[in-house]
Amino acid sequence: MIDVVIVVVAFVTVIVLENASGIAQAGVAAHLGALASLVSVAAVGSWALGLPKVQLKSYEARGMARSAGLGGLLGITAWGLNVFIGYDITGSGPVLLASLFMIGSVLVRLLMLRLVRGLYGLDIPVRNVLIYGAGTTGMQLALALRPDIGTRVIGFVDDNKVLQSVSVAGLPVFPVSAVAAVAQYNDVKRILLAMPSVSRPKLARIARRLGDLGLEVHSVPSFAQLVGEERLVNSLEKVLPDAFLGRKALDETLMDARDHYAGKCVLVSGAGGSIGSELCRQVLQCNPARLVLLEASEHALYQIQGELSEIVRHTTCQIVPLLGTVTNRRSMTAALETHGVQIVIHAAAYKHVPLVEGNVLAGVVNNVFGTVQLAQAAAAVGVDHFVLVSTDKAVRPVGTMGATKRLAELVVADLARSAQAMAIPSKTVFCMVRFGNVLGSSGSVIPRFQEQITSGGPVTLTHPDMTRYFMTMQEATQLVLRAGAMAQGGEVFLLDMGEPVRVADLARRMIEAAGYTVRDTETPSGDIEIAITALRPGEKLTEQVSITQRQSPTRHPKIFVAEELGLSASELQDALGQLRKAVSKGDVDAARKGLMHWVAKDLEALAVDGENPTGQTAGHAG
């Protein structure tokens, strides 16, 4: 009906123009006959070309060529009327008719589209966005977002000066220097990076610069990546691990803990790891004078140094990358003295349960004797505070990794217990902070499940009833720093991990969050299967945060202090001596047996002290 009406309007317009020039003199009957012929051609042609089936939001891409074709057909029809039946119209008439029809067809549909969008968007909030990158991907993204009523693309941002003088996809291209002003004027909160060919480090720098302006930055893939022709390196939507936490994560800043680290020299061991790197980011919020990054992996150290150097570029904080291992006492002492370290946060450890179970001696050397060397060096130099980052695997351990972390705790506790421990006078305040699994950390189930879901499954679980305590990376590291700030000496700080989460439920939620269904007996046609394997060596079905029930609250509602010192100083020396012999001989069995023997002795000592250590079954620190 639209095309028919437009034909009538176009025909009348041509007739009026022709009459005005005194050329067309045909009668009313001839005009009506010609109009009837044109209306018939328009109706049949429109239906044949499928114009009524083209959605308004798709017309710009799919319908314009069809309208042009129909306009041409009408022009040919008008010319044929002149040639075959002698209808008196000038040679320019058919061309004018075709042009007017095409212009009218396009304009009416665009106006209808705007009207429909306006009606649909009456109660829908509109988000203004900018697209960084006016290339092919940016242009395709702008066109793809055009039908979205809730999103309005303000324009492009590009550092190419040639593009800044032209219009891309009907939108202006702004220089990078104008981003802040454009965003403020148009109330833009989000910017989309449409540069899939740019290297990830450069993208990170651009994103950091835009983030400093208060913009939420998203990186989008190319459309070729989306259809599988190129490797998909990023996704439009952010993946938020805390969405699977099952409780509200900590939503606060370091607040009163800042003063403890402000203006100090802080050393973080294992700075390139997932926990260590986040600790470094959080420490930088406290404005330290110097941050020493101790890391055994050259690549990890290079990555974290580059990232943190960008963060502190406008501050006076000095970033010191230190390539080394905590097992070297001499280099640790030299590093602490050279850089004037005042606070040590010891996060370096081998933590993957199956790997440590298969590499017992390496686990003992790094987790136990690495802690001994760094802690003794801190005591000898006179570092103010030493914070050991521990794990719930240290509670009643059944495997090597947990046992090494428990002995590391005992080493630090023994140093705190006696200023003359191991004949080393010390003013250092020693403490430990113990917590459970961290979402998104290296080896966590979140990235592993994501990889399995991306590859089509199956998602593997070691046991259907396995439960774990989870907290976000930011929450865990902030609480570690808060606990370290309130330490007086010898405390075992426990973090409130909330309620345990069934890992099977977590896997199911992640599959469904990715837009898939779980394939099981109830849904055999589902997308991704959850496969049960078996408990791995050293792995427990449930985890706990506390060995005993003797806990005291602190001034922070999520931090508690436990009383858990079991082995005496002499027993600890015997344990370390036995392990040294096993390591020097390369005797894996002796090292494993020694670990489990002294862990058992520790639990016995706690029981003799008046409490059954096996009675604590809940991991909730509160």
- Going from N- to C-terminal start, the domains of the chain cover 2-120, 127-238, 255-612
Angstrom distance (rounded) from CA 190 to CA 131? 9
Residue 567 has pLDDT above 90, yes or no: no
Report which DSSP code applies to 428. Answer: -
| Residue 130: CB atoms within 10 Å | 22
| Mean pLDDT within 330-348 | 96
Encoding tokens for residue 486? 């309130």
Please, what is the Cα angle at 347 between 343 and 351, to 5 degrees?
A: 165
What was the pLDDT predicted at 194? Answer: 87
Specify the 3-state DSSP secondary structure of 134. coil
Give the confidence band of 27 by pLDDT, cuts at 50, 70, 90.
low
| 429 contacts 448 by C-beta, under 8 angstroms | no
Strands (E), 183-256: 190-193, 216-219
User: What average pLDDT does the structure give for the chain?
Assistant: 81
Q: Looking at mean pLDDT, say which of 23-27, 146-150, 479-483, 554-558 comes out highest.
A: 479-483
DSSP H helical segments within 429-472, as ranges? 445-454
**Per-residue pLDDT reduced to its tens digit, 203-228:** 767 887 888 888 888 877 655 555 44
Higher pLDDT, 508 or 82: 508
Look at residue 382 and tell me whether its pLDDT is greater than 70.
yes
**pLDDT bucket at 235, cuts 50 / 70 / 90:** very low
Domain 255-612 has CATH 3.40.50.450: no
More confident residue, 187 or 44: 187
pLDDT of 40 reads 82
Query: According to the model, what pLDDT value does residue 425 have?
Result: 57
Q: pLDDT-based confidence at 376, cuts 50/70/90?
A: very high
Rounded Cα distance between 250 and 558, Å, is 9
List all residues 6 or more positions away from 455 whose beta carbon is below 8 Å from its beta carbon.
none
Which residues fall within 8 angstroms of residue 573, CB to CB, at 6 or more apart? Answer: 422
Distance set, CA 485 to CA 337, 351, 480, 482, 503 (Å): 22, 25, 9, 5, 33
More confident position, 161 or 22: 161
pLDDT at 232: 36
pLDDT at 401: 94
User: What token pair was written down for 293?
Assistant: 């990054």
- Rounded Cα distance between 473 and 485, Å, is 19
Tokens of residue 291, six digits: 């941050």
Q: How confident is the model at residue 543 (pLDDT cuts 50, 70, 90)?
A: confident
How is domain 127-238 classified at the CATH fold level? Answer: Rossmann fold (3.40.50)
| Cβ atoms 498, 557 nearer than 8 A | no
State the pLDDT at residue 267. 98
Question: pLDDT digits over 85-101, tens only?
Answer: 655 566 677 778 778 88
CA dihedral of 383, 387, 389, 395, whole degrees rounded to 10: 120
- In contact, 492 and 564? CB cutoff 8 Å: yes
Whether the domain at 127-238 and the domain at 255-612 fall into the same CATH topology:
yes
What's the rounded mean pLDDT across residues 240-245? 50
Complete DSSP assignment for 76-107: HHHHHHHHHH-----THHHHHHHHHHHHHHHH
Alpha-carbon distance values, 40 to 45, 50, 152, 219, 521 (Å) = 8, 16, 40, 51, 59
The DSSP letter of residue 367 is: I
C-beta of residue 432 within 8 angstroms of C-beta of residue 386: no
Amino acid found at 74 = L
Catalytic residue list: 393
Q: What is the DSSP string of 100-124?
A: HHHHHHHHHHHHHHHHHHHHHGGGS
* Between 244 and 487, the higher pLDDT residue: 487
3-class state of residue 429 by DSSP: strand
pLDDT in tens, 246-277: 555 454 556 778 899 999 999 999 999 999 99
- State the pLDDT at residue 338: 96
Residue 618's pLDDT is 36
Q: Which pLDDT belongs to residue 239?
A: 40
The verdict on whether omega for the bond into residue 196 sits within 30 degrees of 0, i.e. cis, is no
Structure tokens at 3: 């095309």
Question: 494 and 621 in contact (C-beta within 8 Å)?
Answer: yes
Residue 247 CA to residue 406 CA, distance in Å, equals 28
Query: How many other C-beta atoms lie within 10 A of the C-beta of residue 488?
Result: 9
